[in-house]
Chains A and B, each alone.
Chain A
Amino acid sequence: MSWRKWLKTDGFGKMPKPIPLKTMDTFADTVLIELKTATTESILSAIADKEPLYMRSILDDSYFVVDSLVIRPLDLTIFKEIENFFSNHEAISPDFRTQFFSQIIQQEYRSRRGGLAKVQPSLKPVFEFTPSRLDGETQDESFALSLKGRRNRFEVSVTLKGPIGHRKRESDTFINTAFGSASEGGDEARFTQDRKLRMHHAKIIAKDKRGITEKILALPIIIGREAAKIGSLGDRSAFDVDGKFVSRHQLTIFELLGSIYYLIPSSASLTLTNGEKVLRPNYLHRLESGEIHTLVCGVATDAENFKGERTNRGEYPEISIQAIFPESVPHRETPRPTAV
């Protein structure tokens, strides 16, 4: 058999047809827009249902949280198309579904009356198909479609939780020694109360472009060049470090089963050194009680050794972290008065 004949018959002739990329892109764009519209409409409608129950003053000072989001395709064809679309992409990237939905959902939705709904980053929309949708279009539906011209292919159900008061976390203590002593947020009493509430804290001292900044924050803490921006949603503390060679999200400190750990996220383009070795991203480092870990920024993630002097703190900031464990407070029980 000739090479050309083999190609036409047994060889590439039997291989599956490649997915027409242009068609796939058009499908993805259309679905993205439709899902975005349906999601926005249903979240705004859920806010509109809830906000008349509350006074304006409360709506101004609080927000709702999107508790669940269920997306239902309205017919079998779209269900099959979207399942094929996801399975094709998930074969290449297992996180595709999450990435796709992150393009659909916004961080915040605000109604005309001022009601605000926030979406937690941990929210995962549920893609649901109900068997009742297996039937094809009825004559009436076809007629209605012919008049309207466009058919909604998805239905989105949203449940909201709240409202939750949005006030600044008051457990932060702040001393900026470079520009004199200043205070922001709460005070020592607040920190003591937080300790009594069994919250884990960390003391952070950063030497950077701004001078020396010292803070005691409740865990989890995000440290980096744009930490406040990243940590603004949810119950996280943020510590900004200003320097030339600092990643936007350089370090995360968190509590796990009573122990305190820190790690450099994989998204960090630069890593840190503790003076002895280079810290690798995605590795957990334990912070014991009383220990102070001093880390210097600006080391390449693939560097084997820590070379050169990094004394300019404007370029290579230094971050010192110390774990503060909560006090064990015995539970207070109200005694029953007895006759003396």
Chain B
Amino acid sequence: MVVGSEVNRRTDGRVGFDAFCANLQTVSFALCDGANSCKDSGIAANWLAKEITGYPATVFDPIGYEKHVLELHSQMRKEFPNTGSTLVWVNAVGHKLALLSVGDSSVQVFRRWVFDIGPWREVLKMPRDLDLMSNPTQLVGSEVLTKVNVTELFFEGPQLILMMSDGPADSVKQEELRRILSYVRREEPSTYDLDFMCQQIVCSAFKSGCSDDASAALIWLDGR
């Protein structure tokens, strides 16, 4: 397992509201993007990312996950009123990957076309809660949280999990993502490699006109 990230980059020098957390004990990873219209959302996003990655899941339990997120939602509303944050979370449980999303951040899983060879292809993309204006319809800690998107995926061979805040998710084209992912060939990437790839994703987002906070995280897992 190798993790790389590029978090909270902006072009205007302002403080970003994104948070990324990796817990290697629970093998869980979370990216949270605080609503930057509310001033404490960055702190709330950081808190949420730390809390959710500390959740000790031993089996895939969608009801348990949803319950836990709703508990965190209530707690966040008390401790950080007038804030809101997106949440994308990935947890490796046994031979399965549990994926969870709330809000407009993105999480995608890529695998090779043929086992261990060929280009990377997207095998799963979690739903994003967006309205017609491309704004999030629900956030953790906000007034609205009606549904927690949860799904599972069997572990199979090497895979790349890409988490992005809405900035890069909206502006980086799929061809560009595939070009960046194609850096990973037969050899196992290092943290430096994944950091570089995340930087490329963020740079590409800015080149494509992203004016929001830009964060990207890549996780390389080998299921063999």
Contact = CB atoms under 8 A, between A and B. Distances in A.
Interface stretch (B31-39, B112-120, B152-160): B31-39
B147 to A, nearest CB: 12
Interface string B183-204: 1110101101100110010010
A234 interface: no
A58 B196 contact: yes
A139 to B, nearest CB: 45
Interface residues of B, number: 40
B146 to A, nearest CB: 10
A327 to B, nearest CB: 11
A331 B16 CA distance: 13
A193 B143 CA distance: 34
A194 B210 CA distance: 10
Size bracket, chain A contacts: 20 to 34
A55 B193 contact: yes
B142 A338 contact: yes
Contacts of A170: 207
A55 B206 contact: no
Contacts of A57: 182-185
A329 B11 CA distance: 13
Interface in B115-163: 135-139, 142-144
A290 interface: no
A198 B182 CA distance: 31
B68 to A, nearest CB: 21
A1 interface: no
Contact of A331 (B184, B185, B196, B211): B211
B82 interface: yes
B211 A339 contact: no
Interface in A296-313: none
Nearest to A339: B143
Nearest to A170: B207
Given A165-B200, A333-B36, A334-B212, A53 B207 contact: no
A283 to B, nearest CB: 33
Contact of A336 (B12, B35, B207): B35
Contacts of B139: 336-337
Contacts of A334: 33, 35-37, 104, 135-136, 166, 212
**In this complex, which of A170, A196, A334, A337 has the most chain B Cβ atoms within 10 angstroms of its Cβ?**
A334
B135 A335 contact: yes
Contacts of A61: 183
Given A57-B185, A334-B104, 16 more contacts: A53-B190, A54-B193, A55-B185, A56-B187, A57-B183, A165-B196, A193-B208, A194-B209, A197-B11, A332-B212, A333-B36, A334-B135, A336-B83, A336-B84, A336-B142, A337-B139
Interface of A: 53-58, 61-62, 163, 165, 170, 192-194, 196-197, 329, 331-339
15 contacts: A53-B192, A55-B184, A55-B190, A57-B184, A58-B193, A193-B207, A331-B12, A331-B211, A332-B212, A334-B35, A336-B37, A336-B38, A336-B84, A336-B142, A339-B144
